[in-house]
Amino acid sequence: MSQKITSYPGHEITPEEVKEQKYLDVVYKFEPKYSWAAGVAISHFLAELKEGRIVARKCTNCERILVPPRMYCEKCFRPTDEWITIKDTGTVNTYSISHVGTDAMRLKKPILVAVVDIDGASPGMGILHNLGEVEPSKIKVGMKVKAVWKPSSERQGSILDIRYFKPVGDS
């Protein structure tokens, strides 16, 4: 039979006891150091972003051009065949206007996030990124966009070497 515990031995540490330093207090600044292997496909993809190019992998069996690139075609169950440089323009496949930040606080200016199908890649091959230089109310599925790159001196082989995608033309 279980018995409900109503009182525990000892007592809680009071704020006074903390002030009087009656208890040992250890402050430790945690500095995690780790490395993460991006893999063959994404490593090359990131290295090319640093050069201002978007690259994809082609599967010559199904003729699909995959971006983000992968070394294996999940449709054909075989390795992909070649690297292809595709454009830095594309089409908004889907988007989200977020008024809430990562800390769950309401934002003054919403974050505009979209999946951009990149021109030159197969349909439905998209990169998740930010939209910029656009009013939220003007964003549409099917809108043509173009990458806005950081200057080459600031690029570091990151997806953020592209600042955001901005609308082009009058789509």
**Chain contacts with Zn ion (rule: CB under 5 A):** 59, 61-62, 73, 75-76
Nearer to Zn ion, 66 or 134 (CB): 66
The nearest distance, CB 152 to Zn ion, in angstroms, is 34
Please, what is the minimum distance in Å from the beta carbon of residue 51 to Zn ion? 27
Q: Which residue number, 62 or 139, has a Cβ lying nearer to Zn ion?
A: 62
Buried b (16+ CB within 10 A) or exposed e, 3-26: eeeeeeeeeeeeeeeeeeeeeeee
d(CA 100, CA 106): 5
Q: How far is the CB of 54 from Zn ion (least distance, A)?
A: 20
Q: How far is the CB of 126 from Zn ion (least distance, A)?
A: 18
Residue placing its CB nearer to Zn ion in the complex, 62 or 111:
62
Nearer CB in complex with Zn ion: 67/131: 67
Question: Shortest CA distance to 54 belongs to which of 85, 93, 82?
Answer: 85
CB-based contacts of 62: which residues, under 8 Å, 6+ apart? 73, 75, 76
